[in-house]
Structure 1
Amino acid sequence: MSQAVKCLILLAVVALLFVTELIPLAITATAGAISCGLLGFIPAKQVFSGLSDSTVVLFAGMFVVGASMFYTGLAQKIGGVVVKMCGTGENSLMFGLMMVGTVLSSCLSNTGTAACLLPVALGICAAAKIPASRQLMPLAFACGWGGIITMVGTPPNIIAVGAMTSAGLEPFGFFEFAWIGIPVSIAGMLYMMFVGKYLLPKVDLSADQEIEQEIEAASTSSTKQIISGVILALVIITMAVGIPGVSLEIAAITGALVCVLTGCLTEKQAYASIDWVTIFLFAGMMPVSAAMDTTGAGALIADWTVGLMGGSPSPLVVTAILFILSCGLTQFMSNTASAALLCPIGIAIAKQLGADPKAVLMAIAVAASCAFATPVGTPPNTLVLGPGGYKFMDYVKCGTGLVIVAFIVSLVVIPVVWPFFPAN
């Protein structure tokens, strides 16, 4: 049996464990990397190389900087002010919630954003006598599409960057995702305002229903709120401007250190704010991605896939199929795992066609964040399930149309911004 076939078998096992989650995702990814070393797919010294990748440092730093916004209460304050400014009308409140959810989740945790805005939305709904079921799902969806806008907004974006780095390709820039993230966000808001809202149920909830909040504000000090806001702004500006000698990870970690030193959050809270599952899943799948390349497993998958599509399919067709596959998987499994599985395959298929992999990878990453059609696809969807009084089919009815909108926008925008055959 060839090394390529052995690698494919290993990948199939990893995929099965990702889908079923019989064991934790981070353990699956790490075990996959170790297996690649033991089976000789990659050198032993490369097994844990993902942990030393600078992208891991960038992600960890931004987790901490973002968490300081929640621990100081600034994120909650911003959400409350914006939503109240929009008024208590059903349409204006929905727009306000989606707007603030989109903006905050572009740089902060989408789960944390949904959690801090949930009680704000419920309070206003109760006062204005508006069914919360008409507001919470749009909020959850906004937290999902908002994450597409920046590199650190959602794990699939980071996974795509890691796959490119592992393949020796020039990775996406920090704000490059905004080229598709902003159009998807605008289209999503328009869909919810003019179509989606008519598919939402009207559920009357009991007044004493318990509200769970994922991240509680540990401080209400206005000084610390200002400091955390300034730190986040400076970090983002530094990344956008591109100061010579100051890389993205240096900016993120410096911001994280200043957050702790100024008391915006404690050292313990900083450690707790890092999503270690994402970190280890990312670090574990990088060696697996490398193994797919070195053993030829990725090329085998690419040959098989291209053969099924007629031997010389259009890159746009390939992009559409991978978008559908990524989006389908992410409705029921971790979006991080979906992206981690498909990004190396996408690169191999693009190379097989002689096309630039950027468009394919962007489609996979965006699709992995379009977990709108089920309550289990992404944490914000799950978070509003109980408080909104939703049923599974409510997500299917409202979210499926949103997925189609994101699909259409992506197939129009992505090839224009990232051409399959760029002129050199």
Structure 2
Amino acid sequence: MSPAIKCLILLAVIALFFVTEIIPLAITAIGGAVACGLMGLIPAKQVFSGLSNPTVVLFAGMFVVGAAMFYTGLAQAIGEKVVHIFGTGENSLMLGLMLVGTALSSVLSNTGTCACLMPVALGICAASKNTASRQLLPMAYACGWGGIITLVGTPPNIIGSGALTAAGLPGFSFFEFAWIGIPLSVAGILYMLLIGKYLLPKAELDADQEIEQEIEATTHDKKKQVISGVILLACVTVMALNLKFISLEMTAIIGALVCVLTGCLTEKQAYSSIDWVTIFLFAGMMPVSTAMDKTGAGKLIANWAVGLMGGEPTPLIVTIVLFSISCFLTQFMSNTASAALLCPIGIAIAKQLNADPKAVVMAIAVAASCAFATPVGTPPCTLVLGPGGYKFMDYVKCGTGLVLLCRRGNMIRMKVLTAYNMLYFLAPGRMKSVL
């Protein structure tokens, strides 16, 4: 049996475990990396090479910087202020929660943002006689689409960038996802206000219900809130400037160190704020990606996929197909896992077509964040399931239209950029076929 076939079999097993979650995602990913070494698909010294990837450091640093805003109470204060400004009417409250959820999750953990805003929303709903089930799901959706806006907003974005660099290609810049993230966020807000709200249930909940938060504020020191806000703003500014003498990883770690040194959170809180599942899932899939490339498994998949699409598909067709696959998978498995699984395949297919993989990888990453039609694809949707009194079909009814809207929005963007000769694909001869 050839190494490529062995790698494909291993990839199928990993995909099965990702979808079913029979064993934890992080164990599946790390186990896949170890299996690559044991099967001789990669050298033994490369099995844990993913842990030394700079993107892992970026993940860890931004987890700490973001957690500082929650531990100081700044994120909660921002949420309460925005809700106070917009009022407590159903529509205005929904708009306020979605706006703050979108803004905070663009640079912070979307899970932490949702966990922080949820008790605020429940308290206001109880006081203003609004039904919580009409507010929590729109807020969770906003935390999902808000994460698309920046490189660090959601794990699929960073995973896509890491997959590019692992393949020897330039990764994404800090605000490169904003070209699709901001329009999708605006479209999502309009959809929920004009259409989605009519598909939400009206479940009455106990106002005294206890809500468990992943990150709970431990202090409300105004000075520390200002410091944590300044640190985050400084990190985002430096990352956006893309300065040559300081990398994204260095910026994130410096920000994390300053957060601890200034007392915005303790060393123990900093360690506990890091999502180790995301870290190990990413680190485990990087060697698997390398094995796919070195054994030729990625090329086999690419040839097969290209053949199914007619042998010589346009880059736009490839992007549509991979976006649809990623969008489907992420409804039933972790968005992080679906991005980690599909990004290397997308890169291989793009190379097979002699096109720049960036647009394909971006489509996969964005689609992986469109897990709106089920409660299991992304943590914010899962968090509000119980407190909102939602059923599985509530997500299907309200979220399916949102998923289709995101898919349509991404395709329109691709066509517009192509028309202005700004599409990411490098092969000029393919431009007319995309149009």
User: Normalising TM by the smaller chain, what interval?
Assistant: over 0.9
Is 1:36–1:288's contact at 8 Å kept on the other side of the alignment?
Answer: yes
2:265 aligns with 265
Alpha-carbon separation, structure 2, partners of 1:294 and 1:340: 17
- Partner of 1:388, secondary structure, is coil
* Structure 1 gap segments, 5+ residues each: none
Is 1:180–1:414's contact at 8 Å kept on the other side of the alignment?
Answer: no
1:307 aligns with 307
Of 407-416 and 131-140, more deviation after overlay is shown by: 407-416
Is 1:358–1:418's contact at 8 Å kept on the other side of the alignment?
Answer: no
- Partner of 2:55, secondary structure, is helix
Is 1:164–1:171's contact at 8 Å kept on the other side of the alignment?
Answer: yes
Alignment match of 1:419 (pick from 413, 424, 432):
424
For 1:233, give the aligned amino acid.
L
TM-score, normalisation: structure 1:
0.98
Instruction: Give the 5 Å matches for 1:213-252.
Output: 213-252=213-252
Alpha-carbon separation, structure 2, partners of 1:2 and 1:422: 32
TM-score, normalisation: structure 2:
0.95
Report the CA distance between 1:384 and its aligned residue.
Answer: 1.0
For 1:419, give the aligned amino acid.
Y
2:349 aligns with 349
Alpha-carbon separation, structure 2, partners of 1:282 and 1:263: 30
Report the CA distance between 1:99 and its aligned residue.
Answer: 0.4
Percent of paired sites with the same residue: 75
Report the CA distance between 1:32 and its aligned residue.
Answer: 1.0
Deviations 1:175-197 (A, max 9, x none): 11111111111111111111101
Alpha-carbon separation, structure 1, partners of 2:216 and 2:423: 40
Report the CA distance between 1:44 and its aligned residue.
Answer: 1.8
1:135 aligns with 135
Report the CA distance between 1:315 and its aligned residue.
Answer: 1.6
2:433 aligns with none
- Partner of 2:340, secondary structure, is helix
RMSD: 1.3
2:155 aligns with 155
2:193 aligns with 193
Whether 1:71 and 2:71 are equivalent positions in the alignment is: yes
Report the CA distance between 1:8 and its aligned residue.
Answer: 0.3
Is 2:289–2:344's contact at 8 Å kept on the other side of the alignment?
Answer: yes
Alpha-carbon separation, structure 2, partners of 1:75 and 1:422: 45
Alpha-carbon separation, structure 2, partners of 1:171 and 1:237: 18
1:292 aligns with 292
Of 349-358 and 248-257, more deviation after overlay is shown by: 349-358
1:33 aligns with 33
Is 2:173–2:240's contact at 8 Å kept on the other side of the alignment?
Answer: no
- Partner of 1:23, secondary structure, is coil
2:106 aligns with 106
Alpha-carbon separation, structure 1, partners of 2:288 and 2:157: 18
Is 1:147–1:154's contact at 8 Å kept on the other side of the alignment?
Answer: yes
Is 1:4–1:292's contact at 8 Å kept on the other side of the alignment?
Answer: yes
Report the CA distance between 1:414 and its aligned residue.
Answer: 3.6
Alpha-carbon separation, structure 2, partners of 1:111 and 1:26: 18
Report the CA distance between 1:423 and its aligned residue.
Answer: 4.9
Report the CA distance between 1:337 and its aligned residue.
Answer: 0.7
- Partner of 1:84, secondary structure, is helix
Is 2:173–2:242's contact at 8 Å kept on the other side of the alignment?
Answer: no
1:363 aligns with 363
- Partner of 1:387, secondary structure, is coil
Deviations 1:275-312 (A, max 9, x none): 11111111111111011011000010111111111111
1:206 aligns with 206
Whether 1:406 and 2:406 are equivalent positions in the alignment is: yes
Alpha-carbon separation, structure 2, partners of 1:192 and 1:422: 39
Report the CA distance between 1:407 and its aligned residue.
Answer: 0.3
Is 1:58–1:248's contact at 8 Å kept on the other side of the alignment?
Answer: yes
List structure 1 runs of 4+ shifted beyond 3 angstroms. 421-424
For 2:424, give the aligned amino acid.
P
Deviations 1:247-275 (A, max 9, x none): 11111100100100111000000000011
Of 83-92 and 31-40, more deviation after overlay is shown by: 31-40
Is 1:363–1:414's contact at 8 Å kept on the other side of the alignment?
Answer: no
Is 2:334–2:376's contact at 8 Å kept on the other side of the alignment?
Answer: no
CA separation of 1:65/1:422 partners in 2, compared to 1, >3 Å: closer, same or farther? Answer: farther
For 1:380, give the aligned amino acid.
P
Alpha-carbon separation, structure 2, partners of 1:33 and 1:294: 14
CA separation of 1:422/1:75 partners in 2, compared to 1, >3 Å: closer, same or farther? Answer: farther
Is 1:362–1:414's contact at 8 Å kept on the other side of the alignment?
Answer: no
- Partner of 1:354, secondary structure, is coil
Whether 1:125 and 2:130 are equivalent positions in the alignment is: no
- Partner of 1:386, secondary structure, is coil
Alpha-carbon separation, structure 2, partners of 1:247 and 1:159: 17
Is 2:151–2:174's contact at 8 Å kept on the other side of the alignment?
Answer: yes
Alpha-carbon separation, structure 2, partners of 1:153 and 1:419: 22
Report the CA distance between 1:422 and its aligned residue.
Answer: 5.5
Is 1:347–1:357's contact at 8 Å kept on the other side of the alignment?
Answer: yes
Of 366-375 and 243-252, more deviation after overlay is shown by: 243-252
